[in-house]
């Protein structure tokens, strides 16, 4: 249990929460002061310092608008009761953010204990069987962490020439390949390919049988 707050501190914490909810960024000391008729920012500062000390906030010193609410429910993934809700993405097209509203076909809730990664996650139905030897089949659901870069050996979702594809990302001898895990498919050399773009890294696979 965290330390008890004074009434004033509570009010201010509440205001910061509301402000962040409203604006997606935290208020400045002067904005807080204005709301509570505190003329001096130093007065505000001491409240903030107290809230930091008691474990409700963090701030970056000498940085503006850097108040961060601790343990706040991120609205990207709803993590109430250890569930993580991930959007189900229909298609991946070049030039649009994967998580754009238009792409999202639904949501799936997963138990947080099943997911080892955090961040921008989404689910994607697998098309094609280029990864069968990696145990990923057509129709499987893959959980993808949205990211632009990845490590050698990661299984990724990528865009190549406006086509989205699921492959293993391999760097070898200064070249970059997308390796299928199916003898019927050929590796794709994407070294210096300008129409190649990483969409995200596969962090989990789910398959259900009839």
Instruction: Give the footprint of DNA on residues 8-67 (CB under 7 A).
Output: 8-9, 28-31, 33, 36-43, 45-48, 50, 59, 61-66
Q: Which residue has the tokens 């997963």?
A: 110
Which of the following is catalytic: 130, 145, 164, 201?
130
Residue of 87, 164, 169, 190 interacting with a copy of itself (CB under 8 A): 87
35 given a catalytic annotation? no
Is 179 a binding residue for a copy of itself by CB under 8 A? The answer is no
Query: What CA–CA distance (Å, rounded) separates 43 from 20?
Result: 21
118 given a catalytic annotation? no
Residue of 30, 73, 171, 175 interacting with a copy of itself (CB under 8 A): 73
Buried b (16+ CB within 10 A) or exposed e, 99-113: beeebbeeebebeee
CB-based contacts of 172, cutoff 8 Å, min separation 6: none
Is 37 a binding residue for a copy of itself by CB under 8 A? The answer is no
CB of 135 to DNA, least distance (A): 37
Tokens for 193, please give them. Answer: 């390919």
Residue of 82, 127, 191, 193 interacting with a copy of itself (CB under 8 A): 82
CB-based contacts of 176, cutoff 8 Å, min separation 6: 169, 170, 189, 190, 191
CB of 163 to DNA, least distance (A): 19
User: By the 8 A CB rule, do 178 and 168 touch?
Assistant: yes
Is 113 a binding residue for a copy of itself by CB under 8 A? The answer is yes
Active-site residue list: 130, 167
């Amino acid at each position: 249990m965290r330390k008890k707050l004074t009434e004033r501190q509570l009010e201010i914490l509440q205001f910061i929460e509301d402000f962040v909810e409203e604006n997606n960024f935290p208020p400045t000391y002067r904005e807080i002061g204005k709301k509570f008729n505190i003329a001096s920012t130093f007065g505000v500062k001491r409240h903030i310092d107290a809230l930091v000390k008691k474990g409700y906030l963090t701030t970056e010193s000498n940085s503006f608008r850097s108040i961060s609410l601790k343990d706040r429910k991120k609205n990207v993934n709803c993590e109430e009761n250890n569930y993580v809700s991930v959007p189900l993405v229909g298609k991946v097209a070049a030039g649009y953010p994967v998580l754009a509203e238009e792409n999202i076909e639904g949501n799936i809730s997963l138990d947080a204990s099943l997911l080892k990664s955090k961040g921008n996650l989404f689910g994607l139905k697998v098309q094609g069987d280029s990864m069968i030897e990696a145990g990923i089949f057509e129709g499987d659901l893959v959980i993808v962490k949205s990211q632009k870069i990845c490590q050698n050996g990661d299984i990724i979702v990528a865009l190549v020439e406006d086509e989205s594809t699921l492959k293993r990302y391999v760097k070898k001898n200064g070249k970059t390949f997308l390796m299928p895990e199916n003898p019927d498919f050929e590796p794709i050399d994407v070294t210096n390919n300008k129409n190649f773009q990483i969409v995200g890294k596969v962090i989990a696979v789910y398959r259900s049988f009839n």
